[in-house]
Amino acid sequence: MSTRPILVVDDEAINLATLKQILAPQYTLAFARSGHECLAAAAKHQPALILLDVQMPDLDGYEVCRRLKADPQTEHIPVIFVTALAEVGDEAAGFDCGAVDYIVKPVSPALVLARVRNQLSLVRASMLERYVQQLEAQQLKIGRLSRIKTVLSGINSAIVRLRERQALLDEACRVAAEDGGFAMAWVALAHGPLSTLSPVATRGLDAAQLDRLCLTLSKGVLSPRLALPYRALDEAAAVYSNDLSQADAADAICADARACGFGSAIALPLTPWERPVGVIVLYARDAHLFDDDELKLLGELAGDISFALKHIEQEEKVHYLSRYDALTGLPNNHVFLDHLGLAIQSAASAGRTVVAIVANLARFKRFNDSFGRHVGDQLLRQLGQRLTTEFSRSHSVARVAGDTFALAGPYSGDEGLTALLRTLGEVVGKPVGIDGAEIALDAHFGLAVYPDDGRDAESLFRNAEAALRQARLSGERQATYSPELNARMVEKHEMERQLREALARQQFVLHFQPKVDLDQGCITGAEALIRWQHPGRGLLSPGEFIAVAEETGLIVSIGEWVIQAVCAQQAAWRERGMPTLPVAVNLSALQFREGRVRLCVEQALRDNGLEADAIELELTETLVMQNPGEAERTMQDLRQFGLHLSLDDFGTGYSSLAYLKLFPFNSVKIDRAFVTDVSRGEQDAAIALAIIAMAHSMRMHVIAEGVETQEQLQFLRRAGCDQIQGYYFSRPVPADDYARMLQEGKRLQPTPQLGLMSAPATGLRPRRHGH
């Protein structure tokens, strides 16, 4: 018995009963009494056969049959009409709407059984035929899918083995054609502003076909880009034609494929990054090749190739960046040393000499900070292009550090070297146009010559760097290496090592030099001055190590230590019941530019429970004038936090009222150079008077440094100076000695009345109060 029922449809119960009596002993039956019930039962039971009445109240049998045949789920079910309508036209109408047989009521049981048995035999035969067809199609599909899986395996094997892009793409086309059964395969990569596709790997194309393909791709690049590979590239998705005979006539790629006898084609985008970089295109002889399963596997194929391309590109980039500078495209330090070594090797065999020049851009960080990093990058990029254009034919050119370039080439005597340096200076100094503005650069140069200054690439380059450092320290434009220079650099490096050790082992100490009010004579605060308690050389003054600290950048860490140490000392004095008088610290230019001053001061004050008036900051004219705009913004931020700012060493730098009024200073310190001879030299006295008058007009306090004699003191009192600092009152002393001065109330003698009364006779005016 069939597992699928026979559906019997009639609106008359007696007719249903008759057919049930005939068929039930041999077949499974299902019943429906209207057209709508028939449609629902057919969808539900998927019967092997339907016996259908014509005359029913809702839908007649013809309409029901038409609807069954129109539904993909029921179109295959055979229908036999069982009806009282016996006219020839009625039977013809039944066959027209899709019935396979027609039985007229009243029915003969034998006829019904014969007709049903015959039809079910035909159904079984049809089902078997369809099954065989499906099996054959499935086997073909399994074969195709197996071949594509073989392609996937071959591609994955190639990914593991191959490290070059061209070799990988050639292997992908070979595997697709030979293992995947595709008649033709090719890969094209996009290039240029229009993303023009150009074949880079092919399989199954002869020379004429390849020429035709290149021509077709070049013509198809313009909009509208209708060709299969361009659509895949632009849409970033697989695009295929399962029947090339029906492809768009405007698609020249499909037209050429059709002319070659192909039935179907597919273009798959290769997308190693966000956007496709090319396509792989496959052709097959058969049509209707690409179904969902095959498309899925081919998508995996394209994905594996894309992954491999990405990996290769990353490896190439890593290799490139290990040897070349990403910003300028110039060789880096490692490649330069290789080139320098080859030049030395060649020179040694020919008895010639080689010069190595290291050039460092002057004030580049200032440009970077002022105009932004993007401008700095443009400067470096343009300079790299200029150096390459001017020197690459005769010299090796490289970027060996952030703002440092190097050249190496034949040394042709002093005249040739002079000409080379002159050309190099002109190339560097030529103004660079950035965003409509012209920026002029300058540089320091360090030179070393083989064989006198080094017999291998590393030593020659190292000595050129040493010469460059000497040029920068001395302010000269260029310096040539010498053994004495090397000795100084060794000494400097040793000093740097010891400074790092001093920071780690807390070998620095602070001394404090009091500041004294000239009206009251009392101590108003102090300046903190660093000393180094060197384990072998004893107590060292700043002059013996600060220059090295600034050159190496250690001055930032040392400056931050000073701020922390001052605040910690203030907290310790407070614990002893002493008043908190402000202590000034000096800021270095590098520490100020780094922009961490406020953060450091805030942290130190917070850690020790102090207010902002416990510490003052001293800045030099040179420091603030390196970048006036940025300095003014930073100083305003520090003032808003509540910090007192003092202009240190005034008179030794710009000394301009126009500049001075730009910055929110609280006080000005007259440099000791103008204090030394104020009581004897008219010029220094006039300068001191002008500084005091200028500062007071801007409501700033004035502090004189380096006061050592009674005569200097009396002059400054008569001139209206607010405070003094110097050996006349006290040299810088350790913290305990300074605390003892405060506890004992050490002070200057009050201002003599005679000095005040006699001031007009000297041409000096008494000091104004209230500043």
Is it the case that residue 389 has pLDDT exceeding 70? yes
Q: Does the N-terminal peptide bond of residue 760 adopt cis geometry, omega within 30 degrees of 0?
A: no
What's residue 494's pLDDT?
A: 87
CATH superfamily of 6-107: Response regulator (3.40.50.2300)
Is it the case that residue 583 has pLDDT exceeding 70? yes
Does the fold of domain 507-762 match that of domain 333-481? no
Per-residue pLDDT reduced to its tens digit, 334-349: 999 999 999 999 999 8
What's residue 140's pLDDT?
A: 62
Per-residue pLDDT reduced to its tens digit, 612-651: 999 999 998 778 877 788 888 899 999 999 999 999 877 6
143-152, 336-345, 697-706, 747-756, range with the lowest pLDDT? 747-756
- Please provide the size of the chain in residues: 771
Amino acid at 391: F
Per-residue pLDDT reduced to its tens digit, 138-155: 666 666 667 777 777 777
How far apart (Å, rounded) are the C-alpha atoms in residues 407 and 388? 10
- Backbone φ and ψ for 42, nearest 5 degrees, come out as -65, -40
For residue 137, what pLDDT band results from cuts at 50, 70 and 90?
Answer: low
What's residue 509's pLDDT?
A: 96
What's residue 754's pLDDT?
A: 40
What's residue 751's pLDDT?
A: 59
Contact 614, 582 (CB under 8 A): yes
Strands annotated E in 169-317: 184-191, 196-203, 239-241, 264-270, 278-284
Per-residue pLDDT reduced to its tens digit, 115-127: 899 888 887 777 7
What's residue 151's pLDDT?
A: 74
Architecture of domain 333-481: 2-Layer Sandwich (3.30)
* Measured CA angle at 114 (ends 109, 119), to 5 deg: 130
Residue 577 burial by Cβ neighbours in a 10 Å radius (0-12, 13-18, 19+): exposed
The ranges assigned to domains in the chain are 6-107, 149-320, 333-481, 507-762
Specify the DSSP class assigned to residue 443. Answer: E
Mode of pairing for the β-strands spanning 396-401 and 404-410: antiparallel
Q: Dmax of the chain from CA atoms? A: 155
Specify the DSSP class assigned to residue 242. Answer: S
> Percent of the chain having pLDDT more than 70?
92
Contact 107, 143 (CB under 8 A): no
Specify the DSSP class assigned to residue 454. Answer: -
How far apart (Å, rounded) are the C-alpha atoms in residues 41 and 5? 11
Is it the case that residue 283 has pLDDT exceeding 80? yes
33-42, 451-460, 672-681, range with the lowest pLDDT? 672-681
How far apart (Å, rounded) are the C-alpha atoms in residues 235 and 572? 72
How far apart (Å, rounded) are the C-alpha atoms in residues 65 and 571? 102
Per-residue pLDDT reduced to its tens digit, 52-69: 999 998 899 999 999 999
Cβ-count burial 487-496 (b if 16+ within 10 Å, e if not): eebeebeebb
Tokens representing 458 are 């590393």
Is it the case that residue 652 has pLDDT exceeding 70? no
Contact 184, 262 (CB under 8 A): yes
Residue among 690, 688, 701 at smallest CA distance from 657: 690
Contact 612, 666 (CB under 8 A): no
What's residue 489's pLDDT?
A: 66
CATH superfamily of 507-762: EAL domain (3.20.20.450)
Assigned CATH class of 149-320: alpha beta
pLDDT (average), residues 582-610: 92
- Distance of alpha carbon 558 from the chain centroid: 33
What's residue 527's pLDDT?
A: 96
For residue 85, what pLDDT band results from cuts at 50, 70 and 90?
Answer: confident
Question: For the range 742-750, what are the long-range contacts, defined as Cβ-Cβ under 8 Å and sequence gap of 24 or more?
Answer: 742/523, 742/578, 742/579, 742/581, 743/578, 745/522, 746/514, 746/523, 747/516, 747/520, 747/521, 747/522, 747/523, 748/516, 748/518, 748/521, 748/522, 748/713, 749/521, 750/520, 750/521
How far apart (Å, rounded) are the C-alpha atoms in residues 138 and 127? 16
pTM of the model: 0.48
